[in-house]
Amino acid sequence: MKRRGLIWWVLFLFSCCMLCYGLLRGEAAVVLQKATALCLECVGIG
């Protein structure tokens, strides 16, 4: 059971690092832009 907790924390910390890396690269703006374009296409505007 102790090993399972360690694996969970390692994966959690890795995920946090990757999230911060993506934010620093400006990926949030890219994802928002793509999501907006997709929504406009679904509605039929874009």
Locate 15 and state its tokens. Answer: 């995920």
pLDDT band at 40 (very low <50, low <70, confident <90, very high): confident
pLDDT of residue 46: 57
Domain residue ranges in the chain: 2-43
Average pLDDT score over residue span 24-41: 90
Residues 6 or more apart from 40 whose CB is under 8 A from it?
A: 46
Q: Give the Å distances, CA to CA, from 26 to 2, 14, 18, 31.
A: 37, 19, 13, 9
Contacts made by residues 17-25, CB under 8 angstroms, sequence distance 24+: none
Give residue-wise pLDDT tens across range 3-29.
999 999 999 999 999 999 999 999 999
pLDDT of residue 38: 87
Which span out of 8-12, 33-37, 42-46 was modeled with the highest average pLDDT?
A: 8-12
